[in-house]
Amino acid sequence: MKYRFILLVFVLLGPLAARAQNSHEAQRIIEFPDVPGYVTLKCDLHIHTVFSDGSVWPNIRVQEALRDGIDAISLTEHLEYQPHKDDISHPDRNRSHDIAVQSAGESGLIIVRGSEITRDMPPGHANAIFIEDANRLLMDDPVAVFEEADRQGAFTFWNHPNWISQQKNGIATLDDLHIRLIREGLLDGIEVVNDVTYSDEALQIALDYNLTIMGTSDIHGLIDWQYKVPEGGHRPITLVFATERSAAGIKEGLEERRTAVWFNNTLIGREEFVVPLVHASLTVTKTAYIGDSSVLSVSIENTSDVEYILYNKSGFTFHASSDVLTLEPHHTTRIDVKTIERVSSLSLTFEVLNVVTAPNTHPEITLEISVD
């Protein structure tokens, strides 16, 4: 009798559990809209496996990326730091990449060949991606390795410049060697976000020296555990605004500085790229005056993963909320605007508080509204 009861429970609850699991899997997929002229590609270009100092096999990184809806990853194993070499001996530094490519199969996930140049400061750590052969980067001279990466057509960026193990004050600081690498075209980008840290100073360096703004997970353990994905968290990523969904499209977008960083419900990037992304995320779907009043109901749909935090700068006040609004992701929010007298159109201007275009700087957006 007990077994019949268990079987009955399984039959009845099994489909419900499966639907719950499918719902969770759908919710964890990171979603952003395309912007005019470009496709928005979600990239994590700094991750590790047991082939350097990570904790998982390369196929796990592929599976995590597919579950998160990531478009491209790069397994950037340390060239010089191999703590598992007694257990996993691999003279071929391309091995991790090759396993990942095989694991990805026909999934569509783009696997970018890369490696982490692991040096003391300066220059510290840097990732060289879109390389041809990681083995050829094994050399002693700290400048020669960047020159070899450049010969291979690499895109190279400075990793965690605020890392307290190499910068005790946590402040990203350029050294003469970094400036030389930038001026010689050997250093293309900089991480303003690495794992759970963000650096205002790194963002300012990117703006001052025209470097690509990057954000990465630098994951060593499990994505789900590190970023509490089952509880609604997400890995930090670089959004690349590319002309096409391909490795070549991603590289061209990186080289042209067309990026934004998605980190801890914050977007970070140059205004010319993040503002179009905000506009692409938000659509006014419905407007109507309430009864015979002059209070206008406005419905705004947010199709992105960002919970936008907006500060009202329009000159209008709202009937049912303060001057700070929250637009939940994948949700339609209604605001009631006191227009004083009925109008056929109006403009609502907001400062987007969780979008950063420079240290302590947030962009403004204007929603042009036609009254139904």
β-strand pairing of 237-242 with 259-263: antiparallel
Sign of the alpha-carbon torsion through 28, 163, 220, 61: positive
Q: What's CA 235's distance to the chain center, in Å?
A: 7
Structure tokens at 346: 């109006």
β-strand pairing of 114-118 with 110-112: unpaired
CA distances from 84 to 226, 238, 315 (A): 21, 29, 61
Length of the chain: 372
Residue 306 neighbours by CB distance under 10 Å: 23
H-helix or E-strand spanning residue 64: helix 58-68
Structure tokens at 52: 């350097």
Nearest C-alpha neighbor of 195 from the set 168, 173, 226, 233: 226
Nearest C-alpha neighbor of 100 from the set 84, 81, 77: 77
Identify the pLDDT of residue 4. 54
Backbone phi, psi, residue 160, to 5°:
25, 65
Structure tokens at 13: 């609850």
pLDDT tens track for 156-214:
999 999 999 999 999 999 999 999 999 999 999 999 999 999 999 999 999 999 999 99
Instruction: Kindly report whether the peptide bond that precedes residue 122 is cis, defined as omega within 30 degrees of 0.
Output: yes
Measured CA to CA, the distance from residue 202 to residue 347 in angstroms comes to: 35
DSSP character for 341?
A: S
Nearest C-alpha neighbor of 330 from the set 353, 307, 348, 297: 307
Nearest C-alpha neighbor of 74 from the set 132, 127, 152: 127
Sign of the alpha-carbon torsion through 123, 125, 126, 131: positive
In the sheet that 110-112 helps form, which strands lie side by side, from edge to edge? 110-112, 72-75, 39-47, 237-242, 259-263, 266-269, 355-356
Identify the pLDDT of residue 1. 54
pLDDT tens track for 85-135:
888 887 899 999 999 999 999 999 999 999 999 999 999 999 999 999 999
Low-confidence ranges of the chain (pLDDT < 70): 1-26
The pTM of this model reads 0.91
Residue 174: left (phi > 0), alpha (psi -120 to 50), or beta? Answer: beta
Percent of the chain with pLDDT over 90: 90
Identify the pLDDT of residue 14. 55
